């Protein structure tokens, strides 16, 4: 078979970062970093500080040519500045020696987000001085390792450090200020330039920076990359591209900020922090640009959309979730976005070598007696390497590819639940185990390439033929049955690996009667179609299908259909059940629960039940809406709510009542049946009975649309005389006049959580219910 080979000398390897694997947070004089403060009690990560020899051995056995690690600034300078801590530097000294002895090229990243807390206490990255301290630190590390490390990366993903750390606050140090985020970005750039300059002067050969790339596209372009855009969408795409990509690329590589970005910076942070000479300092000659690619940003123009705090200046841009296959992180898998990105970089910045410094995937793994068959992770890497190959063939100047990551590790704010490793880590024993993806990657590295095209999906028969056993034996092995001898098992597993076989329903059901099929049961709400339900159906289906399950959609709207659904599940035709939304008090949940088949619910059920569910923080959302009205000066606030027998309604009332009472207001609640018409009638009643009201909290967007109509009919101006909030942020919210301030319910996240909850139940793990946070989206209806 012909192979998709890479150029001679193409570098294959893996990437890690200090905070995520080292542990030993106070060993040998290390000081605290902002991540130790931000997420305390995170444990010892992978204990790599003491196990680095074993980890280097693993990489050598996998044939890695390069290893990108990061140096921990607080290990080298516990106070961020001053005299270097020799014991901290000694660790990297040993690591580099170990790597070189194993024939692995060390690539050092100087800043992978672990700022010394002492420097954060002095203002952190929004302070100019931090950039100079960074250059001092770079000089100290280079002085110790520069004789053996040839490839240096200054900063990793400065956009993330600045805008998630100081803008949205979901990363350390957790600040929320657009001004600080823009200042931090500039000082990270300046730090990069100053560090590159001192290292160059000290003789460093190959210097680069690592940026995060999320090619910006519209939902239509995800399916059809060549799709032409409307002017509005093109403008939305360009704005996000400037914030995430050009804000960093242009100063580093061309010595100028993008002209379309400067007004945004000025509006949020002024321009006082950009000093004369900074851009010259930033634009140091570089040999290499590190490209981290995981997933695109999918956006479209949406006039009433408020800015996302991680993207200051993104007013009028909606970040969309698209129903493609996703990783467990919820990130859409779009390998096709990689070649255009690489072509663009090669075209716009000629002469610069590129390297994929991170690419990889989080998928839940199952440890079986035969190993960890993480077919999805291997497939993810394969698809991206194939896309990369196409780009290289077309002339993109890419010199290497590094998988994120070697080990399952501590994934920042998400803790240990994320599994990006080629190697499984048991965090109680620190035992390392190679996953199938590691072995698969080792083979790719040996071949320096991939088979030209993906062979036809292997079947149970192909595996049986290759291993010289019967189909039933293969089935027994993939189902982990004990009745097969170790030799035969090993033979079958070798065939499984070599062929890249994914055990499917046929293999499973032959022995265990597992069907790998999931029943998605819809007990439709009284008023028919619901945008939340249809979106959830779409996402749950795509996630479960990506995990190899087939879906049977079943309606449960009558007593007869309840019987049919129960009989289907009792007959063993489903391995799992997703029920949405929770039915009104009725026996279906309990009848299905009694079958013992793993089940999950969308929404907390009205009757207490042991069945786990995924829901959102209804009370928190209603309280946030009420508090927002209070903060904008409203003093007479009533509530319109939907059917009282639904838990969601009850919880929204609780949130509203508590916030109103806390402000010394008397709560007033008027129920409606949920349609806009009933909302208008109930709002008219509410306004007639309480003429002093100047705000209405509606428990859904549809009710809120009714309230807007009632206000208009009563001659009251919105938001001047009356403010209105909704709940849900469905299509209605931005279509009303004025557009609705409403509580956004994370639809895709709920679907992902449901699918994950079900998958872990199906694997026999104990998992409890999930309640997701909501966010208030402020628009015109509240002024």
CA 420 – CA 405 distance, rounded (Å)? 6
CB 206 within 8 A of CB 288: yes
Q: How far is the CB of 57 from ligand FCB (least distance, A)?
A: 23
Choose one: 155-163, 363-371, 427-435, 594-602; the region binding ligand FCB (CB under 6 A). Answer: 155-163
Using CB under 6 A, pick the residue from 17, 300, 475, 589 that binds ligand FCB: 17
Closest to ligand FCB by CB, 160 vs 310, is 160
Range 666-677 burial, b when 16+ CB lie within 10 A, else e: ebbbbbbebbbe
- Nearest one of 26, 14, 43 to 444, comparing CA atoms: 14
CA 599 – CA 596 distance, rounded (Å)? 8
Kindly list the distances between the CA atom of residue 668 and the CA atoms of 642, 661, 665, 676, in Å, as whole numbers in the listed order: 14, 11, 9, 19
Choose one: 154-162, 214-222, 345-353, 642-650; the region binding ligand FCB (CB under 6 A). Answer: 154-162
Burial of 627 (0-12, 13-18, 19+ CB in 10 A): middle
CA 25 – CA 8 distance, rounded (Å)? 40
Tokens of 206: 């190959």
Residues ≥6 apart with Cβ < 8 Å to 471: 460, 461, 464, 510
Q: How far is the CB of 17 from ligand FCB (least distance, A)?
A: 5
Sign of the torsion angle spanned by Cα atoms 484, 485, 487, 490: positive
Q: How far is the CB of 249 from ligand FCB (least distance, A)?
A: 17
CA 753 – CA 747 distance, rounded (Å)? 10
Q: Specify the length of the chain in residues.
A: 783
Using CB under 6 A, pick the residue from 22, 120, 127, 157 that binds ligand FCB: 157
Closest to ligand FCB by CB, 212 vs 475, is 212
Query: At 302, is the secondary structure helix, strand, or coil?
Result: coil
Closest to ligand FCB by CB, 10 vs 213, is 213
Tell me the backbone φ, ψ of residue 407, rounded to 5 degrees. -120, 145
CA 579 – CA 478 distance, rounded (Å)? 29
Closest to ligand FCB by CB, 6 vs 67, is 67
**Residue 420 binds ligand FCB, judged by CB under 6 A:** yes
Closest to ligand FCB by CB, 17 vs 742, is 17
Peptide bond just before 173 cis, omega within 30 deg: yes
Whether residue 266 lies in the annotated active site: no
The strand pairing partners of 293, in sequence order, are 213
CB 372 within 8 A of CB 329: no
Q: How many CA atoms lie within 13 A of 456 on its CB side?
A: 5
Closest to ligand FCB by CB, 39 vs 515, is 39
Whether residue 358 lies in the annotated active site: yes
**Residue 293 binds ligand FCB, judged by CB under 6 A:** no
**Residue 55 binds ligand FCB, judged by CB under 6 A:** no
Q: What angle do CA 198, 200, 205 make, to 5 degrees?
A: 145
Q: How far is the CB of 343 from ligand FCB (least distance, A)?
A: 22
CB 213 within 8 A of CB 194: no
Tokens of 469: 């056993």
Closest to ligand FCB by CB, 327 vs 782, is 327
Q: How far is the CB of 404 from ligand FCB (least distance, A)?
A: 5
Q: How far is the CB of 289 from ligand FCB (least distance, A)?
A: 15
Kindly list the distances between the CA atom of residue 267 and the CA atoms of 178, 262, 317, 340, in Å, as whole numbers in the listed order: 10, 9, 17, 32
CB 286 within 8 A of CB 208: yes
Using CB under 6 A, pick the residue from 358, 408, 491, 516 that binds ligand FCB: 358
Closest to ligand FCB by CB, 357 vs 741, is 357
Closest to ligand FCB by CB, 420 vs 539, is 420
Sign of the torsion angle spanned by Cα atoms 759, 765, 771, 774: negative
- Nearest one of 246, 454, 261, 465 to 344, comparing CA atoms: 246
Catalytic residue among 157, 250, 376, 651: 157
Catalytic residue among 98, 127, 250, 358: 358
**Residue 412 binds ligand FCB, judged by CB under 6 A:** yes
**Residue 212 binds ligand FCB, judged by CB under 6 A:** yes
CA 602 – CA 646 distance, rounded (Å)? 13
Q: How many CA atoms lie within 13 A of 692 on its CB side?
A: 6
Restricting to residues 83-102, name those near ligand FCB by CB under 6 A.
Answer: none
Neighbours of 201 (CB within 10 A): 10
Tell me the backbone φ, ψ of residue 133, rounded to 5 degrees. -65, -35
Using CB under 6 A, pick the residue from 411, 545, 557, 570 that binds ligand FCB: 411
Q: How far is the CB of 356 from ligand FCB (least distance, A)?
A: 12
Q: How far is the CB of 245 from ligand FCB (least distance, A)?
A: 14
Closest to ligand FCB by CB, 163 vs 257, is 163
Q: How far is the CB of 627 from ligand FCB (least distance, A)?
A: 33
Helices (H), 529-675: 531-546, 559-570, 588-594, 618-631, 647-662
Closest to ligand FCB by CB, 407 vs 477, is 407
CA 30 – CA 44 distance, rounded (Å)? 14
The strand pairing partners of 368, in sequence order, are 371
Q: How far is the CB of 292 from ligand FCB (least distance, A)?
A: 6
Closest to ligand FCB by CB, 236 vs 338, is 338
**Residue 327 binds ligand FCB, judged by CB under 6 A:** no
CA 43 – CA 73 distance, rounded (Å)? 19
**Residue 214 binds ligand FCB, judged by CB under 6 A:** no
Choose one: 152-160, 238-246, 249-257, 470-478; the region binding ligand FCB (CB under 6 A). Answer: 152-160
Interface with ligand FCB: number of residues (CB under 6 A) = 12
Restricting to residues 216-255, name those near ligand FCB by CB under 6 A.
Answer: none
Neighbours of 510 (CB within 10 A): 17
Q: How far is the CB of 328 from ligand FCB (least distance, A)?
A: 12
Restricting to residues 273-292, name those near ligand FCB by CB under 6 A.
Answer: 292
Using CB under 6 A, pick the residue from 42, 117, 156, 295 that binds ligand FCB: 156
Q: How far is the CB of 443 from ligand FCB (least distance, A)?
A: 24
Using CB under 6 A, pick the residue from 404, 440, 539, 613 that binds ligand FCB: 404
The residues that are catalytic are: 157, 358
Residues near ligand FCB (CB under 6 A): 17, 20, 156-157, 160, 212, 292, 358, 404, 411-412, 420
């Amino acid at each position: 078979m012909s192979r998709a080979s890479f150029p001679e000398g193409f570098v294959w390897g893996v990437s890690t970062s200090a905070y995520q694997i080292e542990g030993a947070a106070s060993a040998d004089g290390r000081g605290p970093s902002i991540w130790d403060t931000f997420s305390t009690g995170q444990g010892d990560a992978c204990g790599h500080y003491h196990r680095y020899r074993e980890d280097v051995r693993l990489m050598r056995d996998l044939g890695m040519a390069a290893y990108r690690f990061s140096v921990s600034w607080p290990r080298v300078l516990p106070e961020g500045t001053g005299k270097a801590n020799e014991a901290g530097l000694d660790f990297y000294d040993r690591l580099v020696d170990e790597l070189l002895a194993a024939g692995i090229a060390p690539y050092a990243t100087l800043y992978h987000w672990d700022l010394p807390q002492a420097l954060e206490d002095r203002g952190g990255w929004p302070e100019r001085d931090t950039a100079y301290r960074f250059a001092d630190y770079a000089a100290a590390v280079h002085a110790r390792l520069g004789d053996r490390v040839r490839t240096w990366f200054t900063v990793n993903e400065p956009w993330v450090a600045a805008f998630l750390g100081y803008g949205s606050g979901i990363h350390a140090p957790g600040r929320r200020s657009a001004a600080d985020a823009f200042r931090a970005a500039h000082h990270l750039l300046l730090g990069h330039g100053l560090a590159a300059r001192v290292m160059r002067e000290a003789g460093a050969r190959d210097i680069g920076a690592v940026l995060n790339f999320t090619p910006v596209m519209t939902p239509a372009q995800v399916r059809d990359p060549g799709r032409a855009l409307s002017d509005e969408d093109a403008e939305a795409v360009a704005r996000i591209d400037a914030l995430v990509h050009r804000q960093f690329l242009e100063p580093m590589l061309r010595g100028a900020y993008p002209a379309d970005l400067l007004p945004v910076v000025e509006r949020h942070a002024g321009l006082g922090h950009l000093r004369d000479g900074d851009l010259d300092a930033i634009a140091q000659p570089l040999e290499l640009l590190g490209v981290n690619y995981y997933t695109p940003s999918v956006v479209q123009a949406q006039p009433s959309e408020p800015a996302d705090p991680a993207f200051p200046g993104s007013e009028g841009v909606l970040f969309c979730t698209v129903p493609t296959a996703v990783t467990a992180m919820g990130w859409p898998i779009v390998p096709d976005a990689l070649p255009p990105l690489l072509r663009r970089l090669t075209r716009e910045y000629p002469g610069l070598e590129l390297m994929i410094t991170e690419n990889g995937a989080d998928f839940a793994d199952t440890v079986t007696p035969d190993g960890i068959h993480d077919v999805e992770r291997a497939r993810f890497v394969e698809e991206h390497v194939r896309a990369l190959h196409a780009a290289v063939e077309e002339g993109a100047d890419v010199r290497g590819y590094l998988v994120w990551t070697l080990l399952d590790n501590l994934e920042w704010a998400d803790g240990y639940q994320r599994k990006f490793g080629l190697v499984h880590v048991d965090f109680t024993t620190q035992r390392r185990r190679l996953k199938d993806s590691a072995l698969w990657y080792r083979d790719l590295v040996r071949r320096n390439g991939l088979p030209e095209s993906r062979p036809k999906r292997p079947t149970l028969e192909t595996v049986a033929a290759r291993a010289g056993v019967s189909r039933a034996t293969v089935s027994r092995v993939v189902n982990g049955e004990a009745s097969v001898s170790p030799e035969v098992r090993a033979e079958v597993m070798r065939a499984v690996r070599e062929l890249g076989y994914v055990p499917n329903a046929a293999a499973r059901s032959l022995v265990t009667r597992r069907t790998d099929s999931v029943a998605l049961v819809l007990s439709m709400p009284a008023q028919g179609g619901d945008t939340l339900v249809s979106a959830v159906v779409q996402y749950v289906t795509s996630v479960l299908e990506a995990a190899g399950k087939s879906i049977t959609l079943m309606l449960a709207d009558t007593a007869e259909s309840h019987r049919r659904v129960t009989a289907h599940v009792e007959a063993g035709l489903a391995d799992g059940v997703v029920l949405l939304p929770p039915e009104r008090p009725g026996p279906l949940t309990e009848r299905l629960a009694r079958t013992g088949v793993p089940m999950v619910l969308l929404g907390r059920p009205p009757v207490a039940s042991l069945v786990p569910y995924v829901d959102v923080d209804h009370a928190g959302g209603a309280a946030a809406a009420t508090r927002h009205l209070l903060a904008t000066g409203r003093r007479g606030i009533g509530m319109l709510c939907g059917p009282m027998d639904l838990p969601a309604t009850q919880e929204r009332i609780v949130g509203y009542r508590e916030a109103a009472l806390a402000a010394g207001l008397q709560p007033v609640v008027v129920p409606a049946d949920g349609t806009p018409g009933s909302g208008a009638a109930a709002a008219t009643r509410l306004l007639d009975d309480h003429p002093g009201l100047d705000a209405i909290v509606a428990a859904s967007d549809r009710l809120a649309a009714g309230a807007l109509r009632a206000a208009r009919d009563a001659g009251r101006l919105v938001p001047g005389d009356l403010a209105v909030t909704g709940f849900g942020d469905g299509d209605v919210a931005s279509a009303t006049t004025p557009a609705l301030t409403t509580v956004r319910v994370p639809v895709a996240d709920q679907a992902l959580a449901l699918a994950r909850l079900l998958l872990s139940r199906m694997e026999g793990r104990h998992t409890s219910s999930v309640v997701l946070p909501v966010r208030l989206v402020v628009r015109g209806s509240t002024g």
